[in-house]
Amino acid sequence: MNNIAVHECVKKMALTFLFPLLFIMPQIVFADAPELLLAKIYNDDIDVTQYLVSEKFDGVRAVWDGKTLTTRQGNPIAAPAWFIANFPKSPLDGELWIARGAFDQVSGVVRSQSPVDADWRQVSYLIFELPNGKGDFSTRYQTLKHIIATANVKHLKLVKQFKVNNKAALKQKMVAVIALKGEGLMLHRANALYETGRSDVLLKLKPYLDAEAKVIAHLPGKGKYAGKMGSLLVELPDGVQFKLGTGFSDAERAHPPAIGSTVRFIYQHNTKTGKPRFARFLRIRQPSD
């Protein structure tokens, strides 16, 4: 076959397979992440009496717009029809949750595009905010009480908000939640109007800090970890690199997170050079995080 014949063949293939895409591509819709309120880290300078406090649930954040359920990135969640059948028309913001310490389990359920009824019957939708709701947060909380009570859906639940009299009472509640293997507490300023973005009207209080980093390399192990991954070389968003070597199971060391993937880790504080101190691997970042 000469060059002219090859050219004509390629041209025909392009017309056959690529031309129909001109009609398909305009129909492709990319998810738009909803604008949500994101928490900052708690600090001891605040007046805790001005906040409503709740337990921090480590589930998958989900937004109900009155018709569909999506992740915080705007991706549709394939929940069974019965799960959302009697949800209210009002928008809701909350966490899909199974139990304390069961993030991996609920994350797997939510990510599945083929929902299994038996799995979803373990899931609750815990509501903590009324998107674009009127009034301050304490008023929105009362509105949510009415909305959820009226809906009367067993797996649709309101996150309990409460007040504390001082920092000592806050820390005492924190200790009680951690003893139950909970993750920590959330503080939402009671007089705050609804807003989005990262703001100090919403604070998270945990016994440790958490962050994310990109996997740069796998560093070989020694001794009992010979032949396996000893630690990960990871990079923070600000460019700081450090070794992450604890918190891994033997299976994770044999099959470590892929280079280029993002991992979540916990730590106590940063060193003077900006490296996380006492960092410990938590999990690979999932699309639903």
DSSP state of 236: -
| 122/117 Cα distance (integer angstroms) | 9
**Residue linked to tokens 């994101």:** 38
The sign one gets for the Cα dihedral 279, 282, 284, 285 is negative
Give every CB contact of residue 77 below 8 A, 6+ residues apart in sequence: 62, 69, 70, 71, 96, 110
56 is catalytic: yes
Q: 28 exposed, middle or buried (CB, 10 Å; 0-12, 13-18, 19+)?
A: exposed
| 167/146 Cα distance (integer angstroms) | 30
| 185/58 Cα distance (integer angstroms) | 11
Tokens of 232: 């990960």
Active-site residue, from 12, 56, 173, 243 = 56
Tokens of 125: 């939708």
* Residues recognised as catalytic: 56
